[in-house]
Amino acid sequence: MSKIYFIKFLILSLFINVACEGGRGSGNSDEVATTVSMVPIINEKDLPLDTTVKIYFENTLSMDGYINGNTDFKDVFRELLVAVDNEDKIDFETEFYLINDKLVKEDFNVKTTKIADALSKKVISKGSRGTSNFENVLNTVLENQSGDVISIVMADFIYSPGKETNTPSALNKLKTYTKEAFLKAGIDSKNLETRIYRFTSSFDGIYYDINDKHISGISKRPYYYFVIAPSELMNVFEKEISPQLKRNSSFENELVLSPKYFETIPYEVLTATSNNGRINPRNGIEIIDYPHKGNLEFSVALDLKNLPVDDNYILDKANYQVNNNLKLKDLGVLQGKTILFKDGGKVPIHASDLRKIQGNGFTHVAIFKVDGLLSEDLQFSLKKNIPTWVSVVNSNDDRGIKIDSLEKTKTFGFSSLVIGVSEAYKQKTGGNEYFKIKIPVNNN
């Protein structure tokens, strides 16, 4: 054991030395990447010594196409198994399950890291494989979520309404029963987070539409990982494991559902960067002069590195709410001496502002615009919205999938499933914000 700790210490020392040298040696901010990874900091004192990773494969006929041959699905699955097996912050034990109307623990008599290669239609023919009852699947997974556990559900999440002929009613039932499953799971008391990762895979199988019509010849289909874990374990998953999955070219999107609310977000009002008019950050924002032309504009540096969401979410202005005549003009990533925006634009940080914020951990800069006079305190919040990509990939009618190239990229009933989970989080936590900042405003 002493050798292992010595090696870890040596690697850490080398990492610190290299990082420090790199920080001193480069003054060219143009060479820095345009986005940063918003991964929560891991406090290793809060981590358990060992954890179980429970991986569930949705064992229905619609999943056969993902495991026939060496598919993209298997490539990502291999990456997951190897990443979990080689994680060194926690001693992970991996359990693999086939899940439909039955829950079957299986190892196929192979090493854990070889399970992806062992998956085939022949070995998974167990239980009722004809329908996809996801509210029951998730309910079973959540009931099995006790103690220090990371649960990963791998499925296409195509809803099968069975004998239900009223599609809107069937989708509403899916939403309601999924919500109920998460409400019963104690997501607030257990501090459970849910992350949904969307991938695309080569597909060699039969697609079953809303009428249970068997459709062949579809060569590529999306699928998802639902990951459910206590917050501190989700931090480990997001920092140490998910990057290896997201590096795969088949990764598409990510969604976060979290009970977290951040009481304090560090900020600094900037007086000379992207400003129009004159302000003084005395006791908040003191407006000295409104501009002769145009509207009052000012910027605020923010420390958002502990948020459990990525930059795609943070930089989407639709996810924010500001008060009355105030508008969020833009929001960019702070990199070195520059603000980098989503559209590729960049703005330099004024030297006087740079002296105030350097070394204080700020990650982003928000630029605000005032329509008229700013007569009340600034209130600015990041909402817990469902990302727009969920509605884009959702399908409410998949009968035309054979001839509709766009429909082939969608998932029937997916939005109803996600809304159900989201509503459970909102109801249990009693809030729909990650943070809310209030900055006093004084007019002279």
First-to-last alpha carbon distance for the chain, in angstroms, is: 66
Residue 172 scores a pLDDT above 80? yes
Q: One-letter amino acid identity for 233?
A: L
Q: How many Å apart are CA 142 and CA 189, to the nearest integer?
A: 14
Q: What's the pLDDT tens digit per position in 280-309?
A: 988 889 999 999 998 999 999 999 999 988
Q: Where are the domains of the chain?
A: 50-258+387-429, 267-383
Q: How many Å apart are CA 205 and CA 218, to the nearest integer?
A: 8
Q: How many Å apart are CA 34 and CA 30, to the nearest integer?
A: 9
Longest dimension (CA), the chain: 77
| 21 band by pLDDT with thresholds 50, 70 and 90 | very low
Q: Are strands 285-289 and 441-443 parallel, antiparallel or unpaired?
A: parallel
Q: Are strands 207-208 and 394-395 parallel, antiparallel or unpaired?
A: unpaired
Residue 393: how many CB atoms within 10 A of its CB? 18
Q: Which residue pairs from 145-148 have beta carbons closer than 8 angstroms and sit at least 24 positions apart in sequence?
A: 145/54, 145/185, 145/190, 145/192, 145/228, 147/52, 148/48, 148/50, 148/51, 148/52, 148/230, 148/233
Crossing angle (nearest 10°) for helices 134-143 and 167-184: 0
Collapsed DSSP state (helix, strand, coil) of residue 288: strand
The b/e string for 145-159 (b: 16+ C-beta within 10 A; e otherwise) is: beeebbbbbbbbbbb
Residue 35 scores a pLDDT above 80? no
Residue 259 scores a pLDDT above 80? yes
429 compared with 434, residue with greater pLDDT: 434
Do 438 and 269 contact (CB within 8 A), yes or no? Answer: no
* pTM of the predicted model as reported, rounded to 2 decimal places: 0.84
Q: How many Å apart are CA 42 and CA 305, to the nearest integer?
A: 12
Residues 6 or more apart whose CB falls under 8 angstroms from that of 344 comprise 34
Weakest-pLDDT range from 36-40, 64-68, 101-105, 372-376: 36-40
Residue 117 scores a pLDDT above 90? yes
Q: How many Å apart are CA 418 and CA 346, to the nearest integer?
A: 35
| 26 band by pLDDT with thresholds 50, 70 and 90 | very low
For the segment 116-137, the average pLDDT, to the nearest whole number, is 82
Provide the mean pLDDT of the chain.
Answer: 86
Q: Are strands 364-370 and 297-302 parallel, antiparallel or unpaired?
A: antiparallel
Q: How many Å apart are CA 179 and CA 184, to the nearest integer?
A: 9
Q: How many Å apart are CA 385 and CA 423, to the nearest integer?
A: 11
For the segment 321-345, the average pLDDT, to the nearest whole number, is 92
Where is 9: in which H helix or E strand? Answer: helix 2-25
For the segment 44-61, the average pLDDT, to the nearest whole number, is 83
Residue 355 scores a pLDDT above 70? yes
Reported residue count of the chain is 444
Do 330 and 341 contact (CB within 8 A), yes or no? Answer: yes
What is the model's pLDDT at position 66?
A: 97
What is the model's pLDDT at position 43?
A: 53
Please give the distance of CA 260 from its chain centroid, rounded to a whole number. Answer: 13
What is the model's pLDDT at position 48?
A: 64
What is the model's pLDDT at position 2?
A: 40
Q: One-letter amino acid identity for 367?
A: I
What is the model's pLDDT at position 131?
A: 66
